[in-house]
Structure 1
Amino acid sequence: MIDNLYCYFMKKWTPAKQEKILGTNQRITILNTLIDVLSSDETIKLVDKYIRNNEPLHLMGVNADKINELNKNERLKQIVNSCGVINADGASVVLASRYLGKPLPERVAGIDLMMRLVELCENKSYSVYLLGAKQEIVETTAEVLKTRFPKLNLIGYHNGYFKEQDWSNISNILKELKPNIVFVGITSPIKEYLIEYLQNEGNNSVFMGVGGSFDVISGNLPRAPLWMQKSGLEWLFRVILEPRRLFKRYFFGNLAFLKSVWKEKNK
């Protein structure tokens, strides 16, 4: 069923939908992955432009783990590289860009970008929808955001526990509400598949995958201390919190990423 849906939306997808604004982006390539040379400030301005022009956008953040995965998953690679904005959401990606002689300006951390976009939405009366996580987590996230941003137009939320056959229902909800930004906290790569499906069903929102940000914002998981964030060690803090789930992904994954970057530099 997943493969049938993939074929369906790949036939319907038209790159020209995002080219109007995409053409201004400067990009580099690292390990078959396109990445925009954008700071956080520049990303915010670009997203604002998409919203004002009512252009659909898949706002993507890539780290070492995502790059490793897309090099094993052709479908995911096509989706990532077709996104309108692709940020470096990982210190290792920024370091790799410098090692390869095509430096990126900074890491654009997903949760920080999300909070800045929420602030943008409050200031400009843009509407926001939350999609993902457990019901109690997404509810608490909505409450926290409304407390921090009292004027935020948060028009709805939905947990992430639904099946593929429910995607059309999610699409219909979004078509009715027409949110300017949809933050999606669902596991990759289903998150990417879902966003592309929703866009190809005619939803013109800005869609941003936010990983586990709902868990952090809701208080379900703590965020790394500021010194670890600034030192590029936020991944290590996450491993300490969830060693069984993340140890193999980050330690072996980072080693595989570094090895691949070294090969790219010396080929």
Structure 2
Amino acid sequence: MQRQRQLLFGMYMDAMCMDDVIERCRTALATRRPILLGVLNAAKVVELHRDALLRESLMECDLLLADGQSIVWASKLLGRPLPERVAGIDIFTRLLFLAHRDDRSIALLGAKPDVLAEMQRVIAQRFPGLRIAYSHHGYYEAAEAGQIAADIRESGADMLFLGMTSPKKEIFLGSYGSSLDVPVLHGVGGSFDIMAGLTKRAPIAWQRAGMEWAYRLLQEPRRLWWRYLKTNTSFLQLTIREMLHPARAFRVGANRNVAPTRVRIPGTQLRSIADD
């Protein structure tokens, strides 16, 4: 499969549909050659311009996909089109179907202990017999990360899903991804909370209209209104700037996706909330 990429906001993004992504994951499972999936939405576009660790972690992904509809719209406006939105939660669900069908095992890392337990109950109900080789909540100290990574490797899991916020999930994968011996690695952000029923996802019509953020805003207006106002305004400004002066690709060493650089943030506590 020939790889098609578009340079948007300084990042090379993969112009792929969902079926193409799942097929690449099947290949990774068959060959045991790891594939690291990354997703980009408007909030991350804004953040990566000021957060070098997030930016470098995203550049290490084997596939970088459009998680937000705003990214797809911007790509077409800028004349560098991406075919469709490939949302992290939808990749997560499709990969669970794949694991269930093909008798593959999964590992889960993230969320609060009670949310993680509820999500595992939901997974067991929706995918009877699906093997969960390893699970751990996301509220652990930075000093524990190395042991957690070792335990994931020992579990022999075929897929690892991280339900942690950015840039923490990207940093964990950048620090330990190459040592885990897991073919499919995917940071799913707040998807654990959605799968557990803690956060309600927008109806399909809202998703197709690119208004999923507005649906979340209606659920938590006091907490989210200022953040969305700032993020959406900044993203619009970046899009206009991109139209007038297209950004060059960010560089970390060579300008390409590279093997994880084992970036670590001393003293950082990884946590999980549905704020991806």
Same fold (TM over 0.5): yes
In structure 1, the partner of 2:233 is 255
TM alignment of 1:142-221, pairs within 5 A: 142-221=120-199
- Residue 202 of structure 1 deviates from its aligned partner by 4.3
Larger relative contact order, structure 1 or 2 (CA cutoff 8 Å, min sep 6): 2
SS of corresponding position for 2:157? coil
Task: Tell me the TM-score normalised to structure 1 length.
Answer: 0.88
Task: Say yes or no: does 1:49 pair with 2:31.
Answer: no
Mapped to 1, the partners of 2:51 and 2:100 lie a distance apart of 37
Structure with more helix by fraction: 1
Give TM-score, length-normalised by structure 2. 0.85
Q: Which residue of 2 aligns with 1:107?
A: 85
Decide which moves more: 204-213 or 182-191.
204-213
SS of 1:83 mapped into structure 2? coil
C-alpha distance in 1, partners of 2:85/2:139? 30
Match status 1:72 vs 2:72: no
Tell me what 2:223 maps to.
245
1:265 alignment partner in structure 2 = 243
Task: Using the TM superposition, give the Cα deviation of residue 77 of structure 1 relative to its aligned residue in structure 2, in angstroms.
Answer: 1.1
* One-letter amino acid matched to 2:238: S
- Deviation at 1:33? 1.7
Task: Tell me what 1:83 maps to.
Answer: 61
User: In structure 1, what is the Cα distance between the partners aligned to 2:43 and 2:129?
Assistant: 36
Q: Distance in 1 between matches of 2:228 and 2:74?
A: 16
The two structures, once aligned, show a CA RMSD in angstroms of 1.4
SS in structure 2 at match of 1:221: coil
| Structure 1 match to 2:204 | 226
Amino-acid identity (%): 36
Q: Which runs of 5+ in 2 are unaligned?
A: 246-276
Residues 58-83 of structure 1 show CA distances to partners (whole Å, capped at 9, x for unaligned) of 21111010111111112221110120
AA in 1 matched with 2:221: P
CA distance in 2: counterparts of 1:57 and 1:197, whole angstroms? 15
Residue 95 of structure 2 is aligned to residue 117 of structure 1: yes
Once the two structures are superposed, residues 155-177 of structure 1 have per-residue CA deviations (whole angstroms, 9 ceiling, x without a partner) of 22110000111111111111110
Gap regions ≥5 residues in structure 1: 1-20
Task: For 1:183 and 1:87, locate their aligned partners in 2 and report how far apart those are by CA, in whole Å.
Answer: 16
1:98 maps to amino acid: K
SS of aligned partner of 2:202: coil
Moved more, 34-43 or 72-81: 72-81
Query: Whole-Å Cα distance in 2 between the matches of residues 161 and 231 of structure 1?
Result: 34
Distance in structure 1 (CA, Å) of the matches to 2:222 and 2:137: 24
Could you list the structure 1 runs, at least 4 aligned residues long, displaced by more than 4 angstroms after superposition.
none
Which of residues 82, 91, 108 in structure 2 aligns to 1:130? 108
1:58 aligns with 2:26: no
| In 2, Cα distance between equivalents of 1:207 and 1:241 | 30
